[in-house]
Amino acid sequence: MSIFVDKSTRVVYQGLTGSQGSFHGLRNRAYGTQVVAGTNPKKAGTDVEGVPIFATVADAVRETGANASCIFIPAPGVASAVMEAAQGGVEFIVVITEGVPAHDEARFFNVLKRDYPHVQLLGPNCPGVITPGECNIGITPGEIALAGGSVGIVSRSGTLTYQALHELTQLGIGQSTCVGIGGDPVPGTSFIDCLSRFQADPATEAVIMIGEIGGSAEEEAAEYIKTKMTKPVVTYIAGQTAPPGKKMGHAGAIISGGKGTAEAKISALRDAGCDVARNPTEIGGLMAERLRKG
């Protein structure tokens, strides 16, 4: 099994006619993902290497049965694109775009929660999601993933997502699903959203969680792990040497008022029974050790 996406997921790419959208959308199709449509109101009726282009998401859903969307459009248009996807009938929306204004993120996040509670939003500013061998939505290189495995991955960092995938694959440890939730201040999907699904997924035996400084998401996840999870969790917190008050990479990765420090997050995760890697290169080895222990 998997979480969020599998071989039955049918994806419409909002922005498929652009350079980045077509590059990654066609790579995802070559991987085996069912890329069934793209949207561009000015190019409706055309196609991108056989993928039909529709004027709206609603048209694409009606004609192709798309149930997921991937957004590859510039930041100023993301808010309207998210709402178009939800109103058009898809249930899973992946926003790859970075630089989306925080007030836009807060607005569409809350509108979705209020008016479209059945819709799951992933991102913005994330690498997407991959269930190896079945479905890849976003920019994760499928070549570094290994199908048929039992380790789930959830990460705020795109680059460290790839690091964890590659390490596991090099060790011969396959993955169930790998989710990059992004590092913006208002992520559509939280650590707990993913952890709860991995806990419920019978094919996932263990989980890697990669966090970073800033905010309280990791501490909240630690409490969930401590009280709700029975599966082992290996973690890593990025930004351990970051000076207070400086934003490090992601918009949400900033220590403010003594909150959101790496030390506090690591302490909470250890208290929850997690194995905490000291640097990214230890993640795969720690997971291999946990799996050997059973």
Active-site residue (options: 24, 103, 118, 250): 250
Q: State the fold for domain 141-293.
A: Rossmann fold (3.40.50)
Does the pLDDT value for residue 194 go beyond 60? yes
Q: Is the pTM of this model over 0.85?
A: yes
Residue 105 has pLDDT above 90, yes or no: yes
CA nearest to 78, candidates 94, 91, 64: 94
- Structure confidence by residue, pLDDT tens digits, 205-230: 999 999 998 888 999 999 999 999 99
Residue 94 CA to residue 72 CA, distance in Å, equals 9
Confidence of residue 259 (pLDDT cuts 50, 70, 90): low
Catalytic site includes residue 24: no
Structural domain spans, the chain: 10-122, 141-293
> What confidence tens digit (pLDDT) does each residue in 39-81 have?
999 999 999 999 999 999 999 999 999 999 999 999 999 999 9
Q: In CATH terms, are 10-122 and 141-293 the same topology? A: yes
Query: Are the CB atoms for 73 and 14 separated by under 8 Å?
Result: yes
The superfamily CATH assigns to domain 10-122 is NAD(P)-binding Rossmann-like Domain (3.40.50.720)
Rg (CA), the chain: 19
Are 234 and 287 spatial neighbours (Cβ–Cβ below 8 Å)? yes
Confidence category of residue 241, pLDDT binned at 50, 70, 90: confident
